[in-house]
Amino acid sequence: MIAGLGNVGQEYNNTRHNIGFEVVNLLAEEQEQTFELDRYGFVARYKHKGRQIIMLKPTTYMNLSGKAIKFWLNKEKIAIENLLVITDDLNLPFGKLRIKGKGSAGGHNGLTNIEQLLATNRYARMRFGIGDNFGHGRQVNFVLSQFSNDEQIELPSLIKKCATGVNQFVSIGLTRTMNNFNTK
């Protein structure tokens, strides 16, 4: 299962916090699939190299993403090692991309909720660096703002690289994908 994190609602479209939605949207577009509203999220499916992929965009809002992810893992009987969560990351400079197999939430409320509800931090996550270009106390405004004009120039190629990384995760596994994907 590929879970792209974000917030539902037009006011959140194209914001830094919704980068997970953007990646799974591209994957759905490439596979000519559409998301359908279902319990706790929008769901789309496609096959890649013989494997059935379920993509999820939780409708529980970012800070309660774990509720949707746990529901769909249980409903579809998906092992946690087959979960990849795509999220923004303030701790990485803009454009830096990382896949990890476990780790702390790093102050990200969506990851904190997932960790609490799954009772583990041992799940794969794709972290998309959005930088930390905000003043003291302005973090929420920053993550809910749109990318700058300069960032928007680079954004399509970065989203495409993430989509490629998702398909590698599915076909060659976490370790090899980390070796191929993680940027210096």
Q: Is 136 a catalytic residue?
A: no
DSSP string, the chain: -EEE----SGGGTTBGGGHHHHHHHHHHHHTT---EEETTEEEEEEEETTEEEEEEEESS-GGGHHHHHHHHHHHTT--GGG-EEEEEETTS-TT-EEEESS---TT-HHHHHHHHHHT-S-SEEEEEE------TT-HHHHHTSBPPHHHHHHHHHHHHHHHHHHHHHHHH-HHHHHHHH---
Catalytic one among 17, 48, 108, 136? Answer: 17
> Catalytic amino acids?
17
